Amino acid sequence: MNIFDLNKDTEELQKYYNNDLINKVSVFRELYLNLALQHPSLEITYIYASKGDVLSINQKVHNQCETLKETTCRSFPGAKANVSFFGARELIDSSRFEKSYTLQLKFIENYISRGEDNYVVLASLKDFHDFTTFDNGELRDYIFTFNVRDYQGSNVEVNKDIKATLESKHEVDFWWLNNGITILSSKASIAGKTISLDDVQIVNGLQTTNTIHNYIKEKEEKQESINEDRAILIKIVVTNDPETRDRVIKATNFQTAIPTASLKATDSIQLDIENHFLNHEWFYDRRKNYYKNTGKQVDKIISIQYLAQSVISIVYHEPDVARSRPSSIMKNESSYNRVFNQKISLDLYLFCAKTMRKLESAIRSITSSKSKYPYINEQWNDVSPIRILMFHLATLLVVKTISKRDYKTKDVESIKHTEFSEKLIVDTLAELIQLTNKFVDSKQMPISMSIRQKDFMTYILTNVTVSNS
């Protein structure tokens, strides 16, 4: 009411508001009054931002919004007034919104597909290299955000083959022997032999792009000439639709051996987990090998499948599933949504990852120091059986800490900042080994088969010691 009351002098407003706001009010008033003769249309949007959930806003707040809009429209008859709510979800999505950018790609030939908004072009290797590279010679990392995996290294068979094709002296052109590149773009236009692309994302062809980059970089460092005649095939899909984008990513990556987990890498929940882990100096390997390639601490890098196994064991007390059917968690849509959903806090995902890494470290210490833990190693001298019980051990630690065998997700949430002590880990492992030996003896089957049985976990949960406190 103060800001939009044109009869109030700005000097009067200085009693209440800072200079930055006063300056903006003055600019707005001047523009609005100068344009009054042209009957300008005016739209005012208020944004109410907090860390809350927009789905649980009290009706009284919605009522106040209606009053705010009515008050605004009384000051400016004919104006439009809106109120937008930004909660935690909306703030995260906004933080990921990339500033629009345009890159230009020179090409040799092109074909425009149906609708004249998608393209197939042939570009020389050098022009494609320039398109994907900064002036300082480094790759534009931001154009690979929606790729489901990072560079797999020069020693991977497929990348060896790509390099061999690049170095070949045969007359066959490079693009005849390569699957090419798939690019997503929000907008495209052609002028002559140059296509301008907005918001470029390479969603398939990262291995090829990196291999070409390394090949040309090596040639330039050795001051050797590059064959300008060879070309690469590039498919360009112009879309602003997230569903279409995801379909293209999935379709193009099904042509090569990509783990099912990697195809989920662009889901919003996966981005949330990655950001949360980064804030705590842990590294969620949403794009396979990305953090390994950037030199991060290996024991703090967590893969999608490993996190899924950890959650299944710790949150849902099903270590038998985590151990025997890890890939099925990712392949089955309902299983995937059970593990990765907004009902599980990001802190709990981090707790699961950190707990499993701590157990790995503890088991390595136990198996390498037999004199320190004789009552464990005397029962089980073989290292591998102890390691394959890791997910079962995680479940039992939660059971003992919560003092509840059939616990729920909310129970685990209550201990998500807990660090299990070395004594609790060692004592629980010793009891787990004793129970495992009894079960294996009664079933007369190998340990590797026994622990995959649902009966095994039922037996363990039934017989493990749980405090009543």
Q: For 312-363, what is each residue's pLDDT tens digit?
A: 999 999 998 888 877 777 777 888 899 999 889 999 999 999 999 999 998 8
- Tokens coding 71: 């008050």
The alpha-carbon radius of gyration of the chain (Å, integer) is 30
Give Cα separations from 408 to 150, 204, 390, 399, 400 (angstroms).
36, 40, 20, 11, 14
Question: What does the chain come to in residues?
Answer: 469
Give Cα separations from 349 to 10, 196, 345 (angstroms).
51, 41, 7
Q: What is the pLDDT of residue 236?
A: 93
pLDDT tens string 184-239: 998 999 998 999 999 898 988 889 999 999 999 988 888 887 776 789 999 999 98
In the chain, where the domains are located? 10-95, 102-258, 269-463
In CATH, what class is 10-95?
alpha beta
pTM score, two decimals?
0.62
Low-confidence spans in the chain with pLDDT less than 70: 96-99, 113-116, 148, 228, 250, 252-265, 370-385, 468-469
For residue 302, report the phi and psi dihedrals to the nearest 5 degrees.
-120, 125
Q: What is the pLDDT of residue 312?
A: 95
Cα separation, 382 vs 90, whole angstroms: 51
Closest CA to 464 of 421, 428, 420: 428
